[in-house]
Structure 1
Amino acid sequence: MEAMPERAGILTFSTNELPERDRVPVWREVFGRSISKLDLELVSNDPLLCESSIRALPDVTIWSSLISGAVTAKRTSSHLADGDDNFVLNIIRRGRLSVTQRDREVIPDEGAAFLWSNAEKGTLRQLETSDFVSVALSRRLLEGVVRNVDNVFMRPIPASTEALRLLRTYIDVLLGASAPTSPELLALSAAHMGDLAVLAIGATRGEEEVARNGGLRAARLQAVKSDILANLTQADLNIEHVAARHRVSPRYVRDLFNADGTTFGDFVREQRLRKVYRLLCDPMERRRSIGEIALTCGFGDISHFNHSFRRRFGETPSDARERAIRNPANQSIELS
């Protein structure tokens, strides 16, 4: 299926390189039939522009889509014959949608979400270019753990909902370049996503505690780690600032890392050392001194940096750089 090549477990689909007359038919046949389970119609005369990334996990499929202009997507009586009765949690990143199903209409705000049922006919009207992410959840996953699941679909879920906010972060990781690839981690990721979706939609009392101890904590840890990586070069990066940004206590962040088998400080140091090591092996960074590289990666004490580097990699920073110069084809050691 050339329209949907695979990259590290992630399928990509784009109409942009197709002839204009073929874009809607190909979307319907490739993406609409197998992924979104919808039909598509153009509202204007503008050509269809669609780019999507898809990842399938146990009991969960996620895809992000950027679709240009005004379009209408429908699930009709003929679609219901496919027997798919799963739910789809749709999260609006940007744009405007008007969604109708079972005489209910939702016009979600940016960042908000709504639950759609594949067991029902329905219409999604995209009023302008929109960027959204969808999470297909098996009915089996939701029944019994969500209060009155057939009654809560097509109800807006505010963007401020904590579980939804963390789910968005988790999705970005799973569709990104650093996404896990092992079957064990993918199965665990699927379970955590299910937990977060259940919390966002509305868990039963017993399952809510289970979900909070599983997917919510995992997503919070992932969000904290992403925050650290984004601010790694700041010398004053500390647990108090990170905790405040995520509206939790420093003790809670410490507990998250302890449960992960490490500490906040160890994680920060490890990521800074990895960054320094990569830069020392980069031919484009040869003119920069080792001390300058260490400082820009967040190390404020060069003596402490040198000691930490040697203990971590079994060689001095100078040795690492010289080895990379002598053998550019094998510039790095295993960073595990």
Structure 2
Amino acid sequence: MAQNCLGEEPFDATIDGVSIGGLDFTKFALRNLRAATTPRTLRHENHKTDHLFMSMVLTGTVRSDQNDRSSTDTAGDFAIRDTNTPWTIEHNGYSEVLAIAIPRERLEGVLGPARIFAGLTVGGELPVTTLTRSFLSNLLREGDRLPAHVAERMVGVGIDLVVASLAERMAQEVPRPVHGSVVVQRAKAYIEANLHDQTLDPPHLAAATGVSLRRLQELFHERGQHISDWIWHRRLSVAANRMADPGYLHMPLGTLAYACGFASQAHFSRRFKERYGLSPRDYRHRALSEAVAC
């Protein structure tokens, strides 16, 4: 990465970092700095990463360029930076930024390739962005007081809020070639937020996404997926993650099943065994035993 001072004013910087629930939070206080990576520096440095970086402006302004997008972010705004592709950031004057390293697959698994959203400013005035900023700020402040398993769960909530904010912003200005991808991404984000709702089905999802059921089915089929199968896939995956989480040990299997959108424990047990080859009870016992052994 190339760095240089902007103008004749002095440059200074401070960096503070902390890890919460496996997620790295880094606060930068910078003055008069320009940082950039180019195709040449990427080739020579070979610093590929499997993380994307959420950059939230706390004070001041930050100008950035990535993926043919240029923006000036102000306090409350955030953007995703992909350090595997060329980018430029300028801190002209004093600014403070909170950077959070998010596993790439957590964002791309729902929103699609990073090139679709990296460098896109998510405005701080959006209601969901306000919630995201408040939640992450509180998590940063209180994170060191949380038990490890609770911190990991709260980090998951924070990432879901980031996804929801990005999906809302992406829906505002959609280039036609990627419109279908954004519709599917919005649908998947809605599924994640409403897995507990037993009435969630393809017609319900189409109405919530603002497209016809036929169109939504076509978009999923183009990606080799079926709407109902995806809903059940996510319900089972979330249930499996919770059964492997010591923080949910107090929750009876029936309650956990209902919270993931299953109508009955019998229905949950049948589908779960078809997917994982074990009953929910045996799966929980094995997963928690392995966690203790580690």
Q: Under TM normalisation by the shorter chain, which class is it?
A: 0.5 to 0.7
Residue 85 of structure 2 aligns to a residue whose secondary structure is coil
Alignment of 1:210 with 2:192, yes or no, is: yes
Distance 1:60 1:212, change over 3 A: farther
1:292 corresponds to:
none
Q: Which has the higher helix share?
A: 2
Alignment of 1:48 with 2:11, yes or no, is: yes
Percent of residue pairs bearing the same amino acid type: 14
Matches within 5 A, 1:265-304: none
2:141 corresponds to:
176
Would you say how many aligned residue pairs link Structure 1 and Structure 2?
Answer: 176
TM-aligned CA deviation for residue 212 of structure 1: 6.3
Distance 1:109 1:73 in 2: 18
Q: Any unmatched runs of 5+ in structure 2?
A: 168-184, 197-294
Out of 159-168 and 191-200, give the one that drifted further.
Answer: 159-168
1:136 corresponds to:
101
Match for residue 110 of structure 1 among 72, 75, 81: 75
Distance 1:63 1:141, change over 3 A: same
Question: Using CA pairs below 8 Å that are at least 6 residues apart, which structure has the higher relative contact order?
Answer: 2
| Alignment root-mean-square deviation, CA | 2.5
Q: Any unmatched runs of 5+ in structure 1?
A: 1-37, 215-336
TM-score, normalising length from structure 1?
A: 0.47
**Is the Cα–Cα contact under 8 Å of residues 73 and 124 in structure 1 kept in the other structure?**
yes
TM-score, normalising length from structure 2?
A: 0.53
**Is the Cα–Cα contact under 8 Å of residues 28 and 98 in structure 2 kept in the other structure?**
yes
**Is the Cα–Cα contact under 8 Å of residues 95 and 129 in structure 1 kept in the other structure?**
yes
TM-aligned CA deviation for residue 117 of structure 1: 0.8
Distance 1:59 1:106, change over 3 A: farther
Distance 1:187 1:174 in 2: 11
CA shift digits 1:43-63 (9 cap, x unpaired): 245443323332224563222
Pick the structure with greater CA Rg: 1
2:23 corresponds to:
60
Q: Which has the higher strand share?
A: 2
Distance 2:142 2:13 in 1: 21
Residue 204 of structure 1 aligns to a residue whose secondary structure is helix
Distance 1:199 1:173 in 2: 18
Residue 207 of structure 1 aligns to a residue whose secondary structure is helix
Residue 118 of structure 1 aligns to a residue whose secondary structure is coil
2:36 corresponds to:
74
**Is the Cα–Cα contact under 8 Å of residues 113 and 158 in structure 1 kept in the other structure?**
yes
TM-aligned CA deviation for residue 188 of structure 1: 0.9
